[in-house]
Structure 1
């Protein structure tokens, strides 16, 4: 007698019973799902659907890192962050990273390395951000989207790490990209702090 295959289901998994749209915006969509919990009870989950994004850790020829200073309306202030942007429907991840770097900063890169993915707000969104490292940059001129305003600045790794530790850089995708990218540059977080 053959035994039935063991379930691969995570014992913490919540099973969707039904799903309904709450809001359908230009960028974001909100859904409300009814789910069965691991103990068999039911609950409601509301979450934001996001198309995904890329973030680029771009290294200038002198070793400085390329940053943007951009006003972020929900928090009503400007932030220092790495170049990033939304993935268009059906767009290749690398093509998106290349497009965003060019549009926002005016730079193109010869060398690209994929560093991984992060999920910035797992409690209320399905957003994912794909992380890339770009080297051998050449300035070719920016091509900002209409209504997009930002300043391009550069910092040494030490200046960036100091700004993170002082709370001057608080953007999650930027901090994670630095954490993932510094080893690819031959640096560790500890080494950069010691300099």
Structure 2
């Protein structure tokens, strides 16, 4: 790890095929060589990556969204987030998504880090930002995007997580990563 030597757990791709290509997802099936020399198959989804934004009002309230998520057939409470366009700078993507989804622009931006939400079946990464100094300028939702914007205090957020009202993985991971940036 980091010493230039191959990792003893590394798998090596022998060949790859595209199983499905959609608007967002690219499903792959690779034949791989395992560390012991045997072969196996790995199926996974290529994803362009995403951003998530923790937008803080001056009083400490955090901007959230209520959004229906079709795969689970329910509304979720989540932080503003969105897909990175090909070649797009991640901070510019975060600024764009915050503006489009919530109508807010921010004077101050801080990069928190990155996490990988689905390591068993996707190469997706999510870049985390904190935004402060919010100003309402009007939203511009993408076509077919429907959501409600609201705010939560730290106490309301803690209760919502504890009570199971917030279960979205990117929201929970981003809040954990940013915990030292929120005080």
TM-score for both structures, normalised by structure 2? 0.97
Q: How far apart are residue 143 of structure 1 and its match?
A: 0.4
93-102 vs 54-63, greater mean Cα deviation: 54-63
- Give CA-to-partner distance per residue, 1:23-68, whole Å, 9 cap, x none: 0100001000000011111000000000000000000122100000
Task: Give the aligned CA root-mean-square deviation in angstroms.
Answer: 1.0
* Cross-structure match for 1:22: 19
What pairs up with 1:97-108 in 2 under 5 angstroms?
A: 97-108=94-105
How far apart are residue 8 of structure 1 and its match?
1.3
Q: Which consecutive unaligned segments of at least 5 residues does structure 2 have?
A: none
Please give the alpha-carbon distance, in whole angstroms, between the structure 2 residues aligned to 1:162 and 1:149.
25
Match of 1:74 in 2: 71
Counterpart in the other structure of 2:9: 12
Alpha-carbon distance in structure 2 between the residues aligned to 1:7 and 1:69: 46
Instruction: Give 2:139's aligned residue.
Output: 142
> In 2, distance between residues paired with 1:51 and 1:104?
19
Gap runs ≥5 in structure 1: 1-5, 187-195
Name which of 164, 177, 183 aligns with 1:167: 164
Q: Please, what TM-score do these two structures have when normalized by structure 1?
A: 0.91
| 1:192 paired residue number | none
Compute the displacement of 1:7 (Å): 5.7
